[in-house]
Amino acid sequence: MLETLLTQFVNCRNSTIALSAPLSEADMQIQADVFASPGKWHLAHTSWFFNEFILKRFNQQPTGFDGFDFLFNSYYESVGKRQPQNKRGLITRPSLVEILDYRQVIDKSMVSLLKTDLADDVLALIELGIHHEQQHQELFLTDILYNLSHNPLNPAYQKSDAKPFETLLPELTMQAFEGGLISIGHQNDDSFHYDNEQPNHRVFLEPFSLANRLVTNAEWINFIEAGGYDNALLWLSDGWHIKQNSGWEMPLYWEKCENAYQNFSLNGLQAVDLNAPVRHISYFEADAFARWRSKRLPTEAEWEYALTSDNHGLLQVYGELWQWTASPYTAYPGFKASAGAVGEYNGKFMNGQYVLRGSSFATAPNHSRASYRNFFAPHHRWQFSGLRLAE
Amino acid sequence: MLETLLTQFVNCRNSTIALSAPLSEADMQIQADVFASPGKWHLAHTSWFFNEFILKRFNQQPTGFDGFDFLFNSYYESVGKRQPQNKRGLITRPSLVEILDYRQVIDKSMVSLLKTDLADDVLALIELGIHHEQQHQELFLTDILYNLSHNPLNPAYQKSDAKPFETLLPELTMQAFEGGLISIGHQNDDSFHYDNEQPNHRVFLEPFSLANRLVTNAEWINFIEAGGYDNALLWLSDGWHIKQNSGWEMPLYWEKCENAYQNFSLNGLQAVDLNAPVRHISYFEADAFARWRSKRLPTEAEWEYALTSDNHGLLQVYGELWQWTASPYTAYPGFKASAGAVGEYNGKFMNGQYVLRGSSFATAPNHSRASYRNFFAPHHRWQFSGLRLAE
Amino acid sequence: MLETLLTQFVNCRNSTIALSAPLSEADMQIQADVFASPGKWHLAHTSWFFNEFILKRFNQQPTGFDGFDFLFNSYYESVGKRQPQNKRGLITRPSLVEILDYRQVIDKSMVSLLKTDLADDVLALIELGIHHEQQHQELFLTDILYNLSHNPLNPAYQKSDAKPFETLLPELTMQAFEGGLISIGHQNDDSFHYDNEQPNHRVFLEPFSLANRLVTNAEWINFIEAGGYDNALLWLSDGWHIKQNSGWEMPLYWEKCENAYQNFSLNGLQAVDLNAPVRHISYFEADAFARWRSKRLPTEAEWEYALTSDNHGLLQVYGELWQWTASPYTAYPGFKASAGAVGEYNGKFMNGQYVLRGSSFATAPNHSRASYRNFFAPHHRWQFSGLRLAE
Amino acid sequence: MLETLLTQFVNCRNSTIALSAPLSEADMQIQADVFASPGKWHLAHTSWFFNEFILKRFNQQPTGFDGFDFLFNSYYESVGKRQPQNKRGLITRPSLVEILDYRQVIDKSMVSLLKTDLADDVLALIELGIHHEQQHQELFLTDILYNLSHNPLNPAYQKSDAKPFETLLPELTMQAFEGGLISIGHQNDDSFHYDNEQPNHRVFLEPFSLANRLVTNAEWINFIEAGGYDNALLWLSDGWHIKQNSGWEMPLYWEKCENAYQNFSLNGLQAVDLNAPVRHISYFEADAFARWRSKRLPTEAEWEYALTSDNHGLLQVYGELWQWTASPYTAYPGFKASAGAVGEYNGKFMNGQYVLRGSSFATAPNHSRASYRNFFAPHHRWQFSGLRLAE
């Protein structure tokens, strides 16, 4: 296990650096909105996590990085004060070079430590730190995309020769599931999981069906052109008001240019790929679309139960897009936040958000598990989020 | 049934008028915040409801009330445009006299109609209109209290000789319940209920306990004085930020004056009654208090199941204060909104709010039922809301 | 003089009451924006002025009006704390009846006092109080108009049979003036004036011309239809941004209905009177109009000097509309604010406003004097403001 | 003249580059508030000016810089649309390298052009472009200082060994001037000036006095410690409200640390130099200080006339700090904005600002002239602004 964790650690840390390769320091400096942290901040904060929760315990925190504890704490009240979230983009010093140096010094200490005999709780915290950094790798990309999107020149993060979804798209079918008194939540075996996946518990489900695949861009264009964005009766009240005030008429990053839909992605501005699953939609839009189709969104229990059923027939489960569920993000019955400061990781955000299930093309592959609970506010659209219909 | 409904109608309409007796037109004109509608608006809107959904169907809408359809529609998109919610307080004309006239004309037509033979769906809509008006009777009081509270002279809605809770307060005990696969939701018999209480459905509950009574003001003062409002670790993240930005240090309408706590109520400014249940707290405060006591809030399923158990031992269930639950306000499995415009009554608000159970001293007594789901946003404090602990 | 002042006092106080005759208490309760004080507040504040600055000096302040000092102080920091300006509309108690009672008690004391032998400085303060109340009489009307304008029913303050400006409108001509080293400001003789009209001082003026009459609605429609509201090059930068953000396309209270322009006034909604002088325009609009006509606005020194010239040929000087000047509202050389709290009357507002000269149909006639300096912020449009061209 | 202008051009362009030497691209990327443009933007915009107004006239605009016209136009409505001012900091591409390339290409074309025979109006525009860039050199520093000031690590723009003002500070004396009918404004000879300095015109001045030197930090500390920031009667009403809402208790960039005052400057955080003139104060603070000292601020006419008087005895006139005057920034009598798009340079900002006279340590030396009119809004404090008393 120890050797594996060391390898995981090194691979994870290198992957973060690899993500920043196509970017300048300026690209990684800006923060176009409070939720879209700068790339530099992600590089530093993920290191801060190991320093704060591991190295400090062994009195191995690096010297010469005054102020980093303040600058790169995200939201841990029990650890101390921090840079306001909406001002992360104003920190030009430390420079990128200094942040990379900070990473290296921490890496060196962590690697040494990982070669020693460590207590189980320390190993668990290191594993948490790796998964934490992997989550930030996805955020790094969602935030870079958002930040670059404010440039009228539409600069691409990278140039890709990604092929469109040309393959025959399967017909949309509804897969039936029996339900009953089932169990969801992590089994609490040795495999990694967050505290919010706990405890495994019983839930009663009526029979239901889930769509075999995600909703596509072509299907979304039908919704747009049928007036879906203009029909208040399809929308939740909060969603309708946000839509009106924000002028939403299509997914985030879309524009219509001479009757053709284009969308801005990490590869720049391109024609919308009709067969690809629609992304960058809010919960409110997903919910309105489902109502327009006389369907609904799945609950997280339905989603998890279906996924763990034999021959479920569901496509595009992982590695495509996060899938909005109808479930507000709440504590499972008997939920206990982790002990110590990392108890602030998940539990205190259990208000006003919805659970998303599955994973996206930007999620680390080892995050693909049925019990994983991602969560965002219902108006947020900058994540790699799509939808799967239920009834 | 018909005669009873007529009696209900007349009683309900008279009760609304009785509530306005201690108030001047000016008192009923103002709107101190978007959510605190003017008294005059409540008088008119509840009449609009009968006009829009009943009288118009029979072509019996009154004449001579131009613009009232626009001014007194609350949020029914399918009915038409309306006065912006935050500008309700600027409508000085129609005057109170004209609004009372509007009420009387509508009452006269409604009474005539109620003496005829009416189809079941019409009777159901009239019954809905009565319950709708009863809900607004409580809102009339919560809103008047809020609006009067902005006056530094602390004017009382009424002078009461209410006795403090002098009787021996029962010791707080936790009542245990077994749980299992139980059912909640309205039975869908003939008795009145809202669409959001439907359908009755199965839920699995682990064993749990509920407090026999509500949390008191004395217990809340302990929370204040133990630094509960200063300890971020007790709070949900959203709640902490709202608390910090709003300067909450005690419940709404409380002030501390030379070491004594006072609160403003419909009876004016008075010393806090230590044995009375604490009221005018947000969900965030209730949740933080429960965490401080190493307890939690009940779910709505627990609350409803417990109430319907034999010998449950629970006090202060109805007629005291609404009780925050830990349950976000969502659709029950298989929920169908009512047909027609009244389908906007409940369903479109199923986002970002929490369910409250029970009822308050200001709630119409016939609203006391186990399946009733009240709902407000977690930061709202102007309702008659309290809390009951669970574990 | 004493008797005259008593008569002036009584007449002034009665005139204020007469203005409120067409209004309900509700009409006088609301405040649609921070600058548009409630009618009730004007009734009370003008009385507070006499109480604070006269009666208190003689220990004759009335009893039984607790809190009035706080509620009805406008902006006198040296007198004490006060109700926030944007919350004046929330004070429903004292009621209108109590405020009228407050007025009567103060009137009675003031009348008694005015029958005694008073020192010159007291007499001067009483005269100031009368002029103060007369200014509030005009504000009473501008504020009522603004407050009523938020009602989609367009309620009239009064029904008038005012004739349109049917008489032959004089051709617009430019009257030439020589200028030179002239004097402006009040002569400091015994006649009433505010401190900001002082001292009389020398100013050098180049030769200039002023239009013989004000700009009319017909001329303004030409400006609208020539795209004046769409041409950034006509506008000051601040004005352009406010216009864009506020959606100004015509004067305040105007609307275009099937190609006909209508405007809302104290008489309700009516067709725009083409020959009447345009009103309810901001400084920014007046300035843009003048630039469009290759003219400019007059300075206040030009205006005052022209008015005091023989055979000036200027029409519509007083009693029509206040006329924007190009002069920022600043202290005259050697300006000294009045001693005591009334020194806050004018001087502390000498920033960010422009001087208007003349007077409006709503101004007390005894306010017509060449040295009078009215002042408002350049974006304000709710006053009875028009413009006269210069070059 | 031609050769001189070429030299001026080259020197000016090099000076701008020299200013950016101590900074990283990240330092020059950020924009902490709408008014504090990024360093990169200044580098590009000053080049855009030459391209837009000179090179395009000769069809010599560079190719390969798509979008730069949009990105780097500041506020010229007659030239075309532009990047919103508050989003300048989000443009990470073009990179700094590309912007420097843009500068070089433009420089090369400009240098070629300057070696040819150019019409007088072209030469005048080039001279304007140079002075424009010199103004931006000062803004570059004020904006960098502001942007760096948001970093809790207090990073210095440069490390300097500047000596404190140790020399014997002259006693503050008031120098008397006679006034009379004098002239101000540029003489309109061949020497460079902006359109807003025109025309030279007559103004009548009463006798007055000006302080021989600027107000010092020590004197300002007296103001602070005498409660100057807490006494509403010293302040203009607008200033008092801004002060209250913004929490001003001392000049911008000051903090009090264990009873010692420190200020953040381009050299980092240092103890306040008691004999140095106080800087980073708003008009409102300057005005309140003057009132506290029973003095006032000079008008711009007094300042200009005094400076051009023989043996005026005034110290710290140029090269120290800009000096607030009591004069709102308005058009001189007979003012004509320059023809063409550069007519937007000054005239459209003649609202809501005050004139500052003199120049600062960061101003190009050739900008020192008696008729120069700088202007900023009265609440702005990020400029190198101080004050000189008058009476």
Q: pLDDT tens digits, residue range D279-295?
A: 999 999 999 999 999 99
Q: Does D242 touch chain C if contact means CB atoms closer than 8 Å?
A: no
> Taking a contact as any Cβ pair under 8 Å apart, which residues of chain A between 175 and 194 contact chain D?
none
The string of pLDDT tens digits covering residues B126-173 is: 999 999 999 999 999 999 999 999 999 999 999 876 666 656 688 999
Q: What Rg, from alpha-carbon coordinates, does chain C have? A: 22
Closest CA to A385 of A236, A215, A225, A267: A215
Q: How do residues A175-198 score in pLDDT, each as one tens digit?
A: 999 999 999 999 978 899 999 999
Tell me the mean pLDDT in the region D94-115: 98
Residue C76 forms contact with D (CB below 8 Å):
no
- Give contacts of D148 with chain A, Cβ < 8 Å: 92
Mutate to test the interface with B, among C90, C97, C144, C145 (most CBs of B within 10 A): C90
Q: Is the pLDDT of residue D2 over 50?
A: no
Which pLDDT value is given to residue A99?
98
DSSP-derived secondary structure letter, D169: P
Average pLDDT over residues A124-141: 98
Name the packing angle between helices B120-148 and B39-53 (round to 10°): 170
The answer to whether the CB of D347 falls within 8 A of the CB of D174 is no
- The predicted pLDDT at position A389 comes to 98
Looking at the predicted structure, is the pLDDT value of residue B76 above 50?
yes
The string of pLDDT tens digits covering residues D260-272 is 999 999 999 999 9
The mean per-residue pLDDT over the stretch A297-318 comes to: 97
Q: What is the pLDDT of residue A1?
A: 46
Find, among A103, A99, A140, A139, the residue nearest to A9 by Cα. Answer: A103
Place of tokens 């709290």: C341
Residue of chain D minimizing CA distance to A156:
D93
Which residue, C156, C150, C375, is CA-closest to C252? C150
Q: How many helices (H) and strands (E) does chain B have?
A: 9, 11
Name the token pair of B289: 């208090």
Give percent above pLDDT 90 in chain D. 94
Q: What is the pLDDT of residues A48-98, one digit of tens each?
A: 999 999 999 999 999 999 999 999 999 999 999 999 999 999 999 999 999
Nearest to C26 among B25, B67, B150 (CB): B25
**Chains contacting chain B through 3 or more C-beta pairs under 8 A:** A, C
Tell me what the mean pLDDT of segment D29-46 comes to.
98
DSSP strands (E only) in B99-165: none
Lowest-confidence pick of A380-384, B163-167, D257-261, D348-352: B163-167
Question: Cα distance from B20 to chain C (closest Cα, Å)?
Answer: 15
Own/partner long-range contacts of B166-171 (Cβ < 8 Å, ≥24 apart): B166/B275, B167/B275, B169/B213, B169/B216, B169/B275, B170/B212, B170/B213, B170/B315
Q: Where do we find the tokens 């327009």?
A: A292
Chain C touches chain B, with at least 3 Cβ pairs below 8 Å, answer yes
Q: Collect the ranges in chain C with pLDDT lower than 50.
A: 1-2
User: Hey, what are B327's tokens?
Assistant: 């349950």
CA nearest A335 in B: which residue? B296
Element at D286 (helix H, strand E):
helix D283-292
pLDDT at position D346: 94
Distance CA D266, CA A180 (A): 69
pLDDT in the model for residue C159: 81
- Of the listed ranges B94-98, C133-137, C339-343, D359-363, the least confidently predicted one is C339-343
Q: Which of B202, B240, B328 sits opposite A328 (nearest CB)?
A: B328
Buried b (16+ CB within 10 A) or exposed e, C73-110: bbebbebeebbeeeebbbbbbbbbeebbebbebbbebb
Decide if D34 touches C, using CB distance below 8 A. Answer: no
Is pLDDT at B27 greater than 80 in this prediction? yes
Q: Do residues D330 and D350 make contact, with C-beta atoms less than 8 angstroms apart?
A: yes
Q: Distances from the Cα of C389 to the Cαs of C90, C214, C249, C306, D216, in angstroms? A: 42, 7, 21, 13, 46
Three-state secondary structure readout of D70-106: HHHCCCCCCCCCCCCHHHHHHCCCCCHHHHHHHHHHH
C330 contacts in chain D (CB < 8 Å): 326-328
Question: In the structure, what pLDDT confidence band is assigned to residue D165 with cuts at 50, 70 and 90?
Answer: low
In chain C, residues with a C-beta closer than 8 Å to the C-beta of B157 are none
Flag if D330 and C328 touch (Cβ within 8 Å): yes
Whether residue A169 has pLDDT greater than 90: no
Mean pLDDT, chain D, whole residue set: 96
Encode pLDDT of C21-64 as tens digits.
999 999 999 999 999 999 999 999 999 999 999 999 999 999 99
pLDDT at D51 over 70: yes
The 10s digit of each residue's pLDDT in B175-196 is 999 999 999 999 978 899 999 9
| Token pair listed for C177 | 């003036």
Do B and A touch, 3+ Cβ pairs within 8 Å? The answer is yes
How confident is the model at residue B188, as a pLDDT?
79
CB proximity A334 to B under 8 Å: yes
Rounded Cα gap, residues D3 and D190, in angstroms: 16
8 Å CB contact between C324 and D351:
no
Report chain C residues whose CB lies below 8 A from the CB of D202: 204, 206
Token pair 């990684």: residue: A28
Closest approach of C294 to chain B, Cα-based (Å): 41
Query: Which residues of D fall within a CB distance of 8 Å from C328?
Result: 328, 330
The pLDDT of residue C1: 46
> B90–C150: do the CB atoms touch at under 8 Å?
yes
State the pLDDT at residue C178: 96
Backbone angles phi, psi at C182, to 5 degrees: -115, 180
**Residue B297 near residue B327, CB atoms below 8 Å:** no
Helix (H, G, I), strand (E, B) or coil at A341: helix
Q: Would you place residue B2 in the very low, low, confident or very high pLDDT band (cuts 50, 70, 90)?
A: very low
Report how far residue A102's alpha carbon sits from residue A50's, in angstroms, rounded to the nearest whole number. 11
pTM: 0.96
Which DSSP helix (H) or strand (E) runs through C300?
helix C300-307
Q: Among partner residues D92, D150, D152, which is closest to A27 by beta-carbon distance?
A: D92
* pLDDT recorded at residue D168: 66
For residue D98, the tally of other CB atoms under 10 A from its CB is 15
Contact A233 B333 (CB under 8 A): no
The per-residue pLDDT of chain C, averaged, comes to 96
**Phi-psi category of A334—alpha, beta or left, where left has phi over 0 and alpha has psi -120 to 50?**
left
Percent of all residues in chain D with a pLDDT value above 70, rounded to a whole number: 97
Nearest to C93 among B87, B95, B153 (CB): B153
Binary contact (C237, D202; C-beta < 8 A): no
Model confidence at A231, pLDDT cuts 50, 70, 90, reads very high
Of residues A318, A320, A301, the one with CA closest to residue A366: A318
Cβ contact B151:C83 at 8 Å:
no
In the predicted structure, residue A43 carries a pLDDT above the cut 50: yes
